[in-house]
Amino acid sequence: MGEYYKLLELPQDASNEDIKKAYRKAAMRWHPDKNPETEQYAERKFKEITEAYEVLSDKSKRDLYDRYGKDGLTGAGE
C-alpha cells in the first residue's frame, strides 16, 4: 500500500493542504513540457501523480485506498 503517498512523498497522515502542495510540486517537476528529453517517461509519471492526487484529495476514495489499496478503488477488494 502507500504507493500514492510515496509518489507524492507524503506520510499517510498528510493533511489536504499537504497533499495539494505535494501534488503541485510533483506536477511541476514531472510535467512533460518541462522534460522534453524524457517526455514519454515524464508523461507517465505525471499521469501517476495526477491519479494519486485525485484519490488522496477525495476523502471517500482516500479512505478506501487506505483500507484496501488500489483494489478498493476498483471494487476488487470487496
Residue 20 has pLDDT above 70, yes or no: yes
8 contacts 23 by C-beta, under 8 angstroms:
yes
Q: Which residue has the higher pLDDT, 74 or 58?
A: 58
> Domains of the chain (ranges plus CATH)?
3-7+15-74 (1.10.287.110)
pTM: 0.87
Residue given cell 492526487 in the structure block: 53
Give the SS3 label for residue 8.
coil
